[in-house]
Amino acid sequence: MNRIKIYVFGLIILAVQILLSDFLSINGIRPDFILIFIMYNSVRFGSFQGVSLGFILGIIADLLGIGTSFGLSPLTYTLTGYILGILFYHNKIHSQSHFHLIWICIILFHFLCTTFIRYQSIVFENPVHFILLWILTSTYTLGFTGILQVINPLYKKS
């Protein structure tokens, strides 16, 4: 796929995030379609593609008011895109179950970072509530990723 097509499709995913995230919200917990898009492209095309998509879509998302803290989305999307892009080189080396365990851990780390920064006051006041928020936000996006895995498996991408 041409790079311009990827960025245009990224803008479409950003529009889907804006339009559907409130509709699919459960008690303020929303799926992160941008992260799923960055994940698929990072694993398919490598770290550079993941970093550039993460930074550009993160900046646009923050400018449009999707994020709560300005700069958090580009930082976490860029970092996650880079780490997931490393799997581009190791897809053939690892077993399929090991590959899936690695990207799930990377997604959990992404949501740990974003949840920690967004809900800093809850971390020390009520750590159990913080852990619950982290698990719920991660699980909701991982659920959509699982549905997408049935349609278009991530392991076969690179």
**Cα–Cα distance measured from residue 117 to residue 53, given in angstroms and rounded to the nearest whole number:** 22
Cα(152)–Cα(150) distance, integer angstroms: 6
pLDDT of residue 151: 86
pTM of the model: 0.88
Each residue's pLDDT tens digit, 19-34: 888 888 888 788 899 9
- Each residue's pLDDT tens digit, 2-61: 778 888 888 899 888 888 888 888 887 888 999 999 999 998 888 899 999 999 999 998
How far is it, in rounded angstroms, from Cα 100 to Cα 122? Answer: 30
Q: 3-151 has which CATH code?
A: 1.10.1760.20
Q: Where are the domains of the chain?
A: 3-151
Supply the pLDDT for residue 158: 43
Which residues, including other chains, have CB under 8 Å from residue 122's CB and lie 6 or more apart? 129, 130, 133
* Predicted pLDDT of residue 120: 87
Cα separation, 84 vs 10, in Å, equals: 17
Could you tell me the two tokens for 57?
Answer: 């879509």
Kindly give, in sequence order, each residue whose CB lies less than 8 Å from that of residue 127, ignoring residues fewer than 6 positions away.
Answer: none
The Cα–Cα gap between 122 and 139 comes to 19
